[in-house]
Amino acid sequence: MELVLAGIERASAPRDVWRAASEMRPASMLDVCAAAPDIAEAMVIFDGGRFEAYVVMHGGFDSFEVLADMVASCIGCASSQVVGCLYAAEGFDAALHALHVASGYDTFCATDSSPVEAMRAAYAASVVHGVSGACIKRLVASAVKFGTCSAGLDEQALAQHRAVSALDLAQFVFDDLPKRVVFAVGENRTGEAVCERLEACGATVVRTAARDGTWREGLARADVVLFCDDQEACVFSRTEAKSMRRARRGRMSVVFDLTERGCVDTGCVGFDDIFVYTLADLQGIDGGEDAVRAPSETSVMQHAREEAHEYMRWFDERQSG
């Protein structure tokens, strides 16, 4: 038995081949796999930007040729057309590719949806069509777990990088940061990381979930304001910035918009005594966020290789047992 992967690379596929692949229902190929005597298990991923088939084949077959012919017959194209744009991998390389797909680091083709959800849906379809088995099930479980964990590690590293940048900016404005009050509105990963850094420096952090009775009082007292509510489109308007400036009577304020969509009115930038920083501003410090993602990606790739080796040890032991 061997694990084999085959997929059509959208960038290199002729237009008619990709159109035919796009129109094919994955269920059709799963039915073909179920009827093929040389295939024990199969899973097909197609979500608009990706077409891949993972199969467990009995030994003694030219897996690449078998899969190429199968894909060609399913999409209604000549095998010679399909072979030219088909990428394939076996064993360890196939397992490693599945992990790369689930973690979002795959470079062969784009995806129109969450790679983890696409893989889960593909496995569910293979179960329905009776071509699932222990090998594909474990591969999907490993890939989903790995993809979920690697995404979390990336977000955590990015949040910590932004928190360090925010702390640097706050200390630049306030040389007596331990004596200052921080008002955090809402909650997200970056906001919590910034709060932890500021609290570690001795600053007093006051948290509020939304616009409640403490809103105006909090803005008046706060030296540093953190907006972390990703659900609100515009929390802090120009009018509110004016009110805060009047209430603070000339005392400086630092406002951080820590949301991806932006919840601070751009009209607030430029007010005297109010310094407004967004995620884009935090990105530009210390080499930017790419400096964080590069080592993180190296770590993810190394972890992927370890997981792929572990999967193949299990796969080989299962065959020999």
289-311 pLDDT, tens per residue?
444 444 455 667 788 889 999 99
Q: Is 300 a domain residue?
A: no
Q: Is 290 a domain residue?
A: no
Give the count of domains, the chain.
2
Q: Is 317 a domain residue?
A: no
pLDDT at residue 292, as a whole number: 45
| Residue among 139, 137, 135 nearest 58 (CA) | 135
Q: Is 70 a domain residue?
A: yes
Which is higher by pLDDT, 283 or 120? 120
Extract the tokens encoding 283: 């990105």
Which is higher by pLDDT, 116 or 190? 190
pLDDT at residue 311, as a whole number: 93
123/9 same-domain check: yes
Taking the C-alpha atoms of residue 155 and residue 135, their distance in angstroms, rounded to an integer, is 30
pLDDT at residue 294, as a whole number: 45
pLDDT category at 105 given cuts 50, 70, 90 is low
Task: Look up the domain containing 224 and give its range.
Answer: 159-283
128/179 same-domain check: no
Cβ(223)–Cβ(174) below 8 Å: yes
111/6 same-domain check: yes
Model confidence pLDDT, tens digit, residues 147-165: 776 655 556 777 888 888 8
SS3 82: helix
pLDDT at residue 111, as a whole number: 52
Among the residue ranges 138-142, 258-262, 312-316, the one predicted with the least confidence is 258-262
pLDDT at residue 217, as a whole number: 80
Q: Is 217 a domain residue?
A: yes
Cβ(71)–Cβ(86) below 8 Å: yes
pLDDT at residue 7, as a whole number: 84
b/e map 7-22, b = 16+ CB within 10 Å:
bbebeebeeebbebbe
Q: Which CATH number fits the domain that encloses residue 35? A: 3.30.460.30
How big is the CA angle at 29 (ends 23 and 34), to the nearest 5 degrees? 165
171/101 same-domain check: no
Cβ(95)–Cβ(3) below 8 Å: yes
> For the chain, what is the largest distance between any 2 Cα atoms, rounded to a whole number of angstroms?
82
pLDDT at residue 20, as a whole number: 83
Q: Is 19 a domain residue?
A: yes
For residues 227-241, average pLDDT: 76
Extract the tokens encoding 295: 């080592």
Cβ(53)–Cβ(75) below 8 Å: no
pLDDT category at 194 given cuts 50, 70, 90 is very high
